[in-house]
Amino acid sequence: MQLTDVWFVLIAILWTGYFVLEGFDFGVGALLRVLGRDDTDRRVMINTIGPLWDGNEVWLIVAGGATFAAFPEWYATLFSGFYLALLLILVALIGRGVAFEYRGKVDTVRWRRNWDRVIVVCSVLPALLWGVAFGNIVGGVPLDAEHEFVGSFLDLLNPYALLGGLTTLLLFVLHGAVFLSLKTDGDIRTRARTLAVRIGAGAVPVAAAFLLWTWLDHGAGVVTLVLALVAAGALVSGLLATRAGREGWGFALTAATIVAATAFLFTALYPFVLPSTIDPAFGLTTTNAASTPYTLTIMTWVAAVMTPIVLCYQGWTYWVFRQRISRSHIPAPVPSAPVEEQV
| pLDDT score for 307 | 86
pTM for the model stands at 0.92
Q: Report DSSP letters for 180-211, one per residue.
A: HHHHB-THHHHHHHHHHHHHHHHHHHHHHHHH
pLDDT digits (tens, 9 = 90+) for 162-217: 999 999 999 999 999 999 999 999 899 999 999 999 999 999 999 999 999 999 99
Q: Is the confidence at residue 10, as pLDDT, over 90?
A: yes
d(CA 333, CA 107): 7
Q: Is the confidence at residue 151, as pLDDT, over 90?
A: no
The whole-angstrom distance between residue 296's C-alpha and the CA centroid of its chain comes to 26
d(CA 214, CA 105): 46
Q: Is the confidence at residue 341, as pLDDT, over 90?
A: no
Contact between 25 and 52 under an 8 Å Cβ cutoff? The reply is yes
| pLDDT score for 339 | 45
Q: Is the confidence at residue 275, as pLDDT, over 90?
A: yes
Instruction: Give the chain's largest Cα–Cα span.
Output: 66
| pLDDT score for 343 | 35
| Residues in CB range of 42: below 8 A, 6 or more apart | 32, 33, 36, 112, 116
Q: Is the confidence at residue 332, as pLDDT, over 80?
A: no
Task: Name residue 130's amino acid.
Answer: W
d(CA 139, CA 276): 9
Q: How confident is the model at residue 62 (pLDDT cuts 50, 70, 90)?
A: very high
The whole-number average pLDDT for the span 14-25 is 95
The whole-number average pLDDT for the span 232-249 is 94
Crossing angle of helices 159-183 and 3-30, in 10° steps, is 60
Q: Is the confidence at residue 337, as pLDDT, over 90?
A: no
Crossing angle of helices 187-217 and 39-49, in 10° steps, is 50
| Residues in CB range of 230: below 8 A, 6 or more apart | 256, 260
What average pLDDT is seen over the chain?
A: 91
For residue 213, give Cα distances in angstroms to 135, 145, 207, 254.
Answer: 11, 27, 10, 21
The whole-number average pLDDT for the span 318-343 is 70
Give CA angle at 58 (56, 62), nearest 5°. 135
Q: How confident is the model at residue 124 (pLDDT cuts 50, 70, 90)?
A: very high
Contact between 48 and 180 under an 8 Å Cβ cutoff? The reply is yes
| Residues in CB range of 248: below 8 A, 6 or more apart | 182
Phi, psi values for residue 221, rounded to 5°: -175, 170
Q: How large a percentage of the chain has pLDDT more than 90?
A: 76
Q: Is the confidence at residue 237, as pLDDT, over 90?
A: yes
Instruction: Tell me the β-bridge partners of 141.
Output: 276
Q: Could you give the residue ranges of the DSSP H alpha helices within the chain?
A: 3-30, 32-35, 39-49, 53-56, 58-70, 72-81, 83-102, 109-139, 159-183, 187-217, 222-243, 247-269, 293-320
d(CA 116, CA 60): 24
| pLDDT score for 333 | 64
Q: Is the confidence at residue 340, as pLDDT, over 80?
A: no
Q: Is the confidence at residue 335, as pLDDT, over 60?
A: no
d(CA 287, CA 43): 48
Q: Is the confidence at residue 322, as pLDDT, over 90?
A: no
| pLDDT score for 334 | 60
d(CA 116, CA 42): 9
From the list 96, 102, 99, the residue with the least C-alpha distance to 22 is 96
d(CA 340, CA 337): 8
d(CA 221, CA 115): 46
The whole-number average pLDDT for the span 119-140 is 95
Q: How large a percentage of the chain has pLDDT more than 70?
A: 96
The whole-number average pLDDT for the span 106-111 is 90
pLDDT digits (tens, 9 = 90+) for 80-89: 889 999 999 9
